[in-house]
Amino acid sequence: MSGWAAKQKKKAAFAEQRMLDGLDGPTERVVNDAKDSAMGKGEESLFGKKLSKEDAKKEKEAKKAEAKAKRDAKKAEKAAAKGEALPKKKKKDAAAEPKDNTPKADESEADRLAREEHIIATFAHQKASHAHARDINVRDVTISFHGANLIENTDFSLNYGNRYGFIGPNGSGKSTIMKAIAAKCLPIPESIDLYFLAEEYPATDTPALQAVFEVDDERKQLEAEAERVNDAIGACDDEDEQAALSERLNGLYERLDELDAATAEVRASTILHGLGFTPKMQTMATKEFSGGWRMRVALARALFLQPTCLVLDEPTNHLDMDAVFWLEDYLASWTKILLFVSHSQDFMNGVCTHLIRLNEHTKKLDYYSGNYDQYVAERKVRDDEQQRKYDAEQRDIAEIKDFIARFGHGTVKMVRQAQSREKLLAKKLEEGLTAKPSRDAEWDFSFPDPGELPTPVLMIQDVSFAYPGCEPLYHNLDLGIDLESRIALVGPNGAGKTTFVKLMTGELQPTAGAVRPHSHLRMAKFTQHFEDVLDLDRDALSWIHELYPKEFGKIEQARSWLGRYGCTNAQQSMVMSQLSDGQKARIVFAKLAMDKPHLLMLDEPTNHLDMESIDSLAKMINNFKGGLVLVSHDMRLISQVAKEIWICDKKQVTRYEGDILKFKLAAKKEQKKKLAQHMHG
């Protein structure tokens, strides 16, 4: 292996370790705690009580077992002293031994995932890849999580120069599969450095800009070595040695040129600017930022590093609309391998060259060329063709079975024909039949009719607001909302969209002016902070049943209600803290519907929903008889449901004359203008 290849391998291993250090997941400790609880651990004080006859018998047997264990230990010591082989343990005794769950010194990330998170990957034997391989191709891949297969005997392929959107229902295992890929549970060629963005950047004293451009460890090592070689040249008197050192220095500078090290800080600053960091923010320590902004720093580091294979899980979740637009353009020009999960169809349309669909019915990965809209069209063609084959086969089978039933006991000639058809049927079954195409589930995200209220139902009169000790966020707002309103709030992060929603709901009081809701107005708010709505220590079924005892007289009624929102029986009985964010979101919607609101306030409702759930949500909003205020960066949802665009910026909330597509084009134009100004000044 060349020095360069060794450095790249080291760099990839370092990045991989940084990525995976923070991966959460169930550990054996959780399982052991559950076992301990079931066995009555912690109740040792009970043994101080007077023992019953049965207890005394058990204690006596325990003492006998202890004595036997001591005798066996002495026998083993004597045998060892004589150099004899130790007696083999019985299977029962071996099984009783506790498993060692401590990390091994030479343990790989794949081994750690298998041990701690119960993620196991198998695959067909692979030929050794050549030294400069740029594609990933693995056959017959199976990945399991806690013994359940997420994918089975399917091919996994990522080709250099392609950008893959990874889609599938919530809970189908997309994030787990990405963890397995990042941990190199599959045979990734050594020539491919892979980076998986798994967690936010830690809260440290490091300025945001420095945190980004210092991620490139190879560049830092080369710069340090170049400085050492340069110093050595100055201190050397031997001409031959100087010549050798100079040649070495030239080689280092050539590699730094390849990495564009001279412009590293500029490139890092440009990426941060695109993600919404002002020049002042770029100099601030990361500990001064919220978790969402530190996630942006982590994303900037991933983009700056430019690995051969970049793996992202919902990269737009913590971004405002301007940052999403910038990221869409940036990733659309990604020339290596990109694999990402996203709920945004508009974002996928702008970035993807290919789609990978995790089919939860077949446990296969289905590959499609093009962006999301092209995927939808191609999938329909495939499904229609599959449906035709399925229907034709089922007709043939029905005819064969009918012939056998009618003539299987007739004349010799007819019996023989029946037997022939029976053999034909057996052959068809052996060869395998065409499966019925799977259809994406649609959930009943319906909200009841809230009834009529006179217009306007909510008045915002001369409202100003400022947090204590801060500059005003809003000044002299005059707006009104009625039950016909379908409003999308857009604007940069920090402009106060969430604050504006809180003013409308009464969670915050204006510093001047008044927010006047109708006396009978019922409002319901969706928030990303699920802990503010759900009792995460409870299961969903008992929680919602107790919350609405009049509406749900029987617990089966509550079960049916949750099922309408895509919460399965198994999910209903789980502690809600163990559910995915997408599953929690569905429970929140089920709860909000029970409140029968006149006015819905939805703050980034799509962040954790899959495509099918978002489509169900859009359908619900369009059928809803009340008003809507929507904060979202999901362009497709806004285009489906919004009648008005309100822009929150510069201490004002103003109505935009035009649709969301016009707004996007104008925002991108303004964004490019600001980027040019940033780069030149």
Mind listing the pLDDT tens digit for each residue in 203-260? Answer: 999 999 999 988 877 677 778 888 888 888 888 888 888 888 888 888 888 777 766 7
Query: How many Cα atoms are found within 13 Å in the side-chain-facing hemisphere of 46?
Result: 7
| Cβ atoms within 10 Å of 441's Cβ, excluding its own | 12
pLDDT at 61: 57
Type and span of the H or E element at 512: strand 512-517
User: Which residues make Cβ contacts (< 8 Å) with residue 196, sequence separation at least 6?
Assistant: 16, 19, 20, 178, 179, 181, 182, 311, 313
Exposure b/e, 59-87, CB count within 10 A at least 16 = b: eeeeeeeeeeeeeeeeeeeeeeeeeeeee
Query: How many Cα atoms are found within 13 Å in the side-chain-facing hemisphere of 32?
Result: 8
Determine what percent of the chain is predicted with pLDDT higher than 90.
48
The answer to which of 81-85, 169-173, 196-200, 408-412 has the lowest mean pLDDT is: 81-85
User: What is the amino acid identity at position 264?
Assistant: A
Confidence check: pLDDT of 33 > 50: no
pLDDT at 372: 94
Q: What is the mean pLDDT of residues 28-55?
A: 34
CB 25 within 8 A of CB 117: yes
Whole-angstrom Cα distance, residue 415 to residue 409? 6
pLDDT at 34: 33
Kindly give the pairing relationship between strand 364-369 and strand 354-359.
antiparallel
Specify the DSSP class assigned to residue 117: I
Whole-angstrom Cα distance, residue 132 to residue 365? 26
Whole-angstrom Cα distance, residue 589 to residue 502? 19
Angstrom distances, CA of residue 282 to CA of 126, 143, 210, 318, 375: 45, 41, 8, 17, 39
The answer to which of 38-52, 105-119, 521-535, 616-630 has the lowest mean pLDDT is: 38-52
Burial class (CB in 10 A: 0-12, 13-18, 19+), 179: buried
pLDDT at 89: 40
Confidence check: pLDDT of 95 > 50: no
pTM of the model: 0.72
Kindly give the pairing relationship between strand 194-197 and strand 652-656.
unpaired
CB 393 within 8 A of CB 437: no
Q: What is the mean pLDDT of residues 58-69?
A: 53
CB 128 within 8 A of CB 112: no
User: Which residues make Cβ contacts (< 8 Å) with residue 307, sequence separation at least 6?
Assistant: 12, 15, 193, 194, 195, 336
Q: What is the mean pLDDT of residues 402-410?
A: 80
CB 621 within 8 A of CB 591: no
Q: What is the mean pLDDT of residues 607-611?
A: 84
> In which residue are the tokens 């392929």 written?
157
User: What is the amino acid identity at position 41?
Assistant: K
CB 645 within 8 A of CB 655: yes
pLDDT, mean over the chain: 82
Phi then psi for 495, rounded to 5 degrees? -75, -20
State pLDDT tens for residues 341-367: 998 999 999 999 999 999 988 999 999
State whether the Cα torsion 590-169-607-113 is positive or negative: positive
Confidence check: pLDDT of 24 > 80: no
Nearest to 660 by CA among 622, 620, 632: 632
Q: Which two tokens stand for residue 397?
A: 């089978």
CB 291 within 8 A of CB 314: no
Whole-angstrom Cα distance, residue 495 to residue 457? 25
Helix (H) and strand (E) counts in the chain: 24, 18
Whole-angstrom Cα distance, residue 620 to residue 641? 10
Query: Which of the listed ranges 369-373, 442-446, 669-673 does the model predict with the highest average pLDDT?
Result: 369-373
Confidence check: pLDDT of 45 > 70: no
Confidence of residue 521 (pLDDT cuts 50, 70, 90): very high
SS (HEC) of 638-681 = HHHHCCEEEEEECCEEEEECCCHHHHHHHHHHHHHHHHHHHHCC
Instruction: Pick 144 or 13 by higher pLDDT.
Output: 144
Confidence check: pLDDT of 88 > 50: no
Q: In what order do the strands lie in the sheet with 523-526?
A: 523-526, 599-603, 627-631, 486-490, 644-649, 652-656
| Cβ atoms within 10 Å of 532's Cβ, excluding its own | 9
Confidence check: pLDDT of 80 > 50: no
Q: What is the mean pLDDT of residues 498-513?
A: 94
Query: Which of the listed ranges 440-454, 519-533, 664-678 does the model predict with the highest average pLDDT?
Result: 519-533
Confidence check: pLDDT of 518 > 80: yes
Whole-angstrom Cα distance, residue 3 to residue 546? 65
Whole-angstrom Cα distance, residue 597 to residue 343? 26
Whole-angstrom Cα distance, residue 325 to residue 310? 19
